[in-house]
Structure 1
């Protein structure tokens, strides 16, 4: 009987969100199971306050690149959890570094088989190897891996009928000053990890000017702040102060619609059952999100290969903003 498990999903924000959906269904099947989650410290807030997680273990494996001393610090930190005697360790990341963390924690490890992940050597460390095509939807992949590791099933209907699974506490109350009671609140996510995943700031401004609603923009770095300021200068939109991830979760949960690039904060909307439009160019729309009655996608004509993404492809900017406006009106039930 599996009583205590460790899930390893280190990064990034969207990938963690796409794995967290499985927690609800694990607990339905095994109500008394204990779940610890190992994550890069940058993203631990995404998991914070989730009632289905017993312990969040914050790692900083990225620091190893900057300091050899950090290698031993992180190694000793992971080793300290070996005493937890996990019945099962699930490596949901499928990378060599995550598989090594898993192996330090114990021997009963489940993970993707060598043909199901980008770093096939990772599967060498697993005692239970699970096969699913790398090109399949990432949410389906994560749910399949985790459920098969624990000998039960998660169906597409389960996922479509999920409960919201991001939680917040003691958020920055400033966010509520930006919300309107008389108009629909639309949150724009204007940044992304690659420049080629970022939709045109000029077209974002035209979307704002096409709808008489309350538009908000959040930002996470100086480049995103500059984009936000450009849109504010060319449309009627409010740019919020820089938010922590806890307050961002709270804000997303309160708006009527999120429009954004293929990036973590946009995927928060799906996790919170908030209407969303995710804009895709050089990343595969069919793979990186889950279509529902309220969570829609709009994509360029380019058909990306998930095994070899082209960071120099800027096809996202071919998308006509009028089509986004039309989709937004339909989701918001406005003329």
Structure 2
């Protein structure tokens, strides 16, 4: 599944006062028979606005998904997931990270009773997940919302235990806004570019070569985890999160190698059949300022467009000015801001 400062980021006039709502509802784990209700709930919760909404995943994940029902109608859905597990070699200051996602029907977003009851269930499940993590590091429990979700965010930031974690922007590249990627107007393909074609369509500086992966062996996954740890030692992706991303529709990893080892990398996948999701854009420090990130983005955008996607999206930390410049140059624009908060678990 990558925030912000505290309540000062949310205009007070945008946060509706929380009102208790007494009702008869039940909260239980998600079941297969709940899919029709989930579809209705999603359409109502996301209609006309941008929200962070996690899908329930495969059946083995449903123990992490809880739904509230009232008169047979789904009125709230919550989910917990381990986002990163610190290896024993990680810095002592690093922490495991568990995130939760809690969504309500729009008319129930200020229902403090229901919000509190759902959070209590998610918090209890998070403690169970924490018990399964290595005891070498502490654990944070966090959540992330887009800026538009002021009421949901306000419920948690009003609780003194939650603190700002970070801010990031959601950026979007809409292909309809451009005729074609300038560098590859002559390339007409509906398949991802392979190594030989990439060398001519997307030239690299001397000493660099393309590599692409549509699946990862155990050894290749270990190599990537080591690379990721070098770039983000405080928040490594972890084996479980990497496996989750690699299982998604249309997943692919593009890398640029120097002397047989990765110098820069990104991965992408296709969401809902229409949006390319770009993740984990990274370049080792000694290979920066050589255009590698731009080359990765241009090739990824071309391949995503060739898959029939209408646009591509990615996340970037709000304070990462270098990355923002690269993404803007590639045609990305800021769509919204995501706010992340966390509490010691």
Q: TM-score, normalised by structure 1?
A: 0.28
Which of the pair has the greater relative contact order for Cα pairs under 8 Å at 6+ separation?
2
Q: Which has the larger helix fraction? A: 1
Q: Which has the larger strand fraction? A: 2
